[in-house]
Amino acid sequence: MKREHIAERLLVACSARLDTDAGPQGTAFFVAPGIAVTAAHVIGGVNGLGVHLSESARNWRGHVVDVRPSRAREIAATSPYPAPDLALIQIDEGPRHPCALLAKHLPSEDARMMTRGYTRTLDQQAVTAETETFSLTGTLETTDPDCKLLKLGLGEATRGMSGAAVLDLGTGEVIGMLRTSRKLGSNLGGWVVPAGLIRLLWPEEVGLAHDRFHEQYSLWRETASQLRAWQSGSTRAGPSTEANVVSVINGDNNGFVTIEYGRGSSRRHGSGTR
Amino acid sequence: MMLPSGDLIWVHVQAEQAVMSDGDSGPTDVGLGQRIAPIAETLGLPGFTQTVRGVVTSVRQALDDHRPDSLTVEFGIQIVVKAGAVLSVLAEAGGNVHVTVTASWDRRDAVVPPAGEEELDPK
């Protein structure tokens, strides 16, 4: 199994399509039990708005409990949403789910990334999941002193990818949330809100709850360790590594995600929303 | 966004064609929906009440001397994003603003012929 396949399955495990009463709006991902994040512009900056999340056969209902910036007084259709462009969603109803492993450090300069969002690329009527890989190309300071965006290149950020988790292929950690295309229809990539800022803005709802989750369920971290070892070459790439991480399967009977290691062994990995 | 009445409605803002043309734009947020005016509920949709009141008052004043018994005014309201603000203005079609006015009189004050003066059938 290629590392891209493992990365994609990790993204499937933590991501969801986001709909409102007005229809599909973009993507969100789980960062703590019962807590998801998306881009503020995806939910129109409306605090309290009801949302519907879905991934394969799993569905969640929730509502927006915080938006940053909290009061975007400047509205300009031609400009990107003010930084950081984040919204916190509390899940009110739905099955258990795994949570993305958020990176605590900035990625290395030559890091390769993967994201997975819900787009209309296939056709304008259907919304389907789409992955894309990027390279980290730099950073971009914003008017918010706490928010320095990460710049991606060498990949296309497509409409619908706003709110999608961006995963470092070398570490298996989510480095942030995709929010903006640097130029639509091009290979110029996009802007990412760093994971560290998501933790900083909501230290209890995200930071503590996220850490507790990954202390309790170690499988994502173990998978990330495999990817790091693979990246550094300290383990043999190829069949031996591939056998360690066979598959990530979404949604068994209890709503858990099961990550199977090796041949014939498996472990459970998940968390409740309530 | 929130109307002055307190009702919450969704508003899809159609951006200029040049801006929406993929490949011609600079940095663009990549949500699936069109840009939704953020926190417009706090703005109370300025201009909406004034626009409606202005049109209705103007039409009533124009017909004040004729005192219609019923009056119907139809016009369009366009919600636009301009200079960083959400505004409501009279909708234009081809550069013209259309206001349709229907006035009616039930003629209750017209002279009614007294009883017994009905026209008789000719013999």
DSSP SS3 for A199:
helix
Q: Is the pLDDT of residue A245 over 50?
A: no
Position A249 scores a pLDDT of 37
- Using CB atoms, pick whichever of A22, A80, A85 lies closest to residue B33: A22
Transcribe B24-52 into DSSP letters: T-SSEE--SSPPP-TTHHHHT-TTHHHHH
Check if A50 contacts B (Cβ < 8 Å): no
- pLDDT over threshold 90, residue B44: no
Single-letter amino acid, residue A212: R
**A window 142-201, beta carbon within 8 A of B:** 157-163, 178-186, 190-191
pLDDT at B45 over 80: no
What are the angstrom distances between the C-alpha of B77 and each of B18, B51, B73? 24, 8, 13
In DSSP terms, A115 is beta-bridged to A132, A166
Cβ–Cβ contact B63 with A under 8 A: no
Residue B85 has pLDDT above 80, yes or no: no
pLDDT of residue A264: 36
At B48, which amino acid appears? F
The 10 Å Cβ neighbour count of residue B103 is 15
Of the pLDDT bands very low, low, confident and very high (cuts 50, 70, 90), residue A79 is: low
Three-state secondary structure string covering A40-94: HHHHCCCCCCEEEEEECCEEEEEEEEEEECCCCCCCCCCCCCCCCCEEEEEEEEC
Provide the b/e sequence for B48-63 (b: ≥16 CB within 10 Å).
Answer: beebbeebeeebeeee
Report the residue of chain A nearest B15, measured CA to CA: A77
> By CA distance, what is A121's nearest residue in B?
B32
Which residue of A75, A121, A182 is the best one to mutate when testing the B interface, meaning the one whose CB has the most B CBs within 10 A? A75
Check CB contact under 8 Å for A190 and B25: no
Q: Is A154 helix (H, G, I), strand (E, B) or coil?
A: coil
pTM metric for this prediction: 0.71
Two structure tokens written together for A186: 């091009």
Kindly determine whether residue A160 and residue B31, on different chains, have CB atoms separated by under 8 Å.
Answer: yes
* Mean of the per-residue pLDDT values of chain B: 68
Asked whether the beta carbons of residue A179 and residue B30 sit closer than 8 angstroms, the reply is yes
Quote the minimal CA–CA distance from B6 to chain A in Å: 15
CA distance A229 to chain B (A): 34
Percentages of chain B per state (helix, strand, coil), in multiples of 5: 20, 25, 55
Reported as half-sphere exposure (CB side, CA atoms, 13 A), residue A147 has a value of 18
Best residue in A17, A25, A71, A78 for a mutation probing chain B (most B CBs within 10 Å): A78
Q: Is the pLDDT assigned to residue A269 strictly greater than 80?
A: no
Tell me the chain B residues in contact with residue A150 when contact means C-beta distances shorter than 8 Å: none
Cross-strand bridge partners of residue A61: A52, A93
The yes-or-no verdict on residue A36 having pLDDT over 50 is yes
CA angle A110, A245, A131 (to 5 degrees): 50
Tens digit of pLDDT for each residue in B96-117?
A: 777 888 888 887 766 655 555 5
Strand order in the sheet with A265-269: A245-249, A257-261, A265-269
Question: Cβ contact (<8 Å) for A75 and B85?
Answer: yes
* Distance (Å, whole) CA A7 – CA A20: 28
In this complex, do A24 and B32 lie within 8 Å of one another by their Cβ atoms? yes
CB B31 within 8 A of CB A39: yes
* Chain B environment of A42 (Cβ under 8 Å): 31-33
Asked if B86 and A120 come within 8 Å (Cβ–Cβ), the reply is no
What are phi and psi for residue A184, nearest 5 degrees? -60, 145
pLDDT at B24: 56
pLDDT of A237 > 50? The answer is: no
Whether residue A46 and residue B41 make contact (CB cut-off 8 A), yes or no, is: yes
* pLDDT reported for residue A22: 87
Which residues does residue A53 pair with via DSSP β-bridges, in sequence order? A18, A60
Determine which of A163-177, B9-23, B64-78 has the lowest per-residue pLDDT on average: B9-23
In this prediction, residue A35 carries a pLDDT of 98
B17 in contact with A, Cβ within 8 Å: no
pLDDT (tens digit, 9 = 90+) per residue, A94-138?
999 999 999 999 898 889 999 999 999 998 889 999 999 999 999
- Can you tell me the ipTM of this complex? 0.83
- Using the structure block, give the residue that is written with the tokens 């994971």: A195
Q: Which residues pair with A149 in a beta bridge?
A: A140
Number of Cβ atoms within 10 Å of the Cβ of A236: 10
